[in-house]
Amino acid sequence: MKVAIVYDSRTGTTQEAARAMGAAFRTRGDEVTVQSVSEADPAEVSKADLICVGSWTQGLFIILQHATRATMRFLESLGDLKGKEAVVFCTYKLATGSMLPRMAAVLERKGARVAGQYKFKGATPTGDFMTYASSS
Ligand SMILES: Cc1cc2nc3c(=O)[nH]c(=O)nc-3n(C[C@H](O)[C@H](O)[C@H](O)COP(=O)(O)O)c2cc1C
């Protein structure tokens, strides 16, 4: 299976999480790309079987959390995702509000089935993500 992981990271945490996610998918035999939102080509990413998009959490820590503008722009720029699986993720310190459902809604509008919404307090993917990534 082809997996495309795209992230927006300000200080490296989300990049590190994205790379760890990529390593987990490679362990189950997937072909994985891990790129930042500025590097990734939306048309290429749209061709993957599984599309994972992640952002650091931006907001006022306990309110008004959102994905970065670059992340939302990237999500909007993806093509038709009918038949594709998708995952959204973020790293955060305190609270993420409704940012993950809002990211997922864009992917669902494009036809993807969003299989997971994961938040990581730091750069280490959580156990529920690892369980998802180890299933085929
Ligand atoms: C300007 C700014 C706003 C932030 N707002 C939030 C927030 O609303 N909620 C939260 O849990 N973390 C918030 N954070 C923390 C970051 O989302 C968190 O440290 C993240 O892991 C950083 O990822 P990065 O290293 O990939 O940039 C904020 C950080 C910054 C710099």
CB-ligand 1 contact for 58 (6 Å cutoff): yes
The rounded distance, in Å, linking the Cα atoms of 116 and 114 is 6
CB-ligand 1 contact for 10 (6 Å cutoff): yes
Q: In the prediction, which pLDDT does 61 show?
A: 87
- Counting from 1 in the atom list of ligand 1, the atom nearest the Cα of 63 is 8
CA dihedral 62, 64, 129, 35 (to 10 degrees): -130
Q: How many CB atoms lie within 10 A of CB 133?
A: 25
Considering the chain, what is the average pLDDT of its residues? 97
Q: What residue's CA is closest to ligand 1, atom 9?
A: 61
Give the CATH number, domain containing residue 95.
3.40.50.360
Answer yes or no: is 25 within a domain.
Answer: yes
CB-ligand 1 contact for 12 (6 Å cutoff): yes
Tell whether the model's pLDDT for residue 35 goes beyond 80.
yes
pLDDT class of 107 with cuts at 50, 70, 90? very high
Tell whether the model's pLDDT for residue 136 goes beyond 80.
no
Tell whether the model's pLDDT for residue 110 goes beyond 80.
yes
Q: What are the pLDDT digits (tens) for 45-58?
A: 999 999 999 999 99
Tell whether the model's pLDDT for residue 133 goes beyond 70.
yes
C-alpha 117 to ligand 1 mean position (Å) = 17
Q: What residue's CA is closest to ligand 1, atom 7?
A: 61
The rounded distance, in Å, linking the Cα atoms of 94 and 21 is 21
Answer yes or no: is 136 within a domain.
Answer: no
Answer yes or no: is 24 within a domain.
Answer: yes
Number of structural domains in the chain: 1
| 94 contacts 60 by C-beta, under 8 angstroms | no
Instruction: Locate 88 and state its tokens.
Output: 């959204």
pLDDT class of 135 with cuts at 50, 70, 90? confident
- For 43, the 3-state DSSP assignment is helix
Domain range holding 81?
2-131
């891990």: which residue's tokens? 34
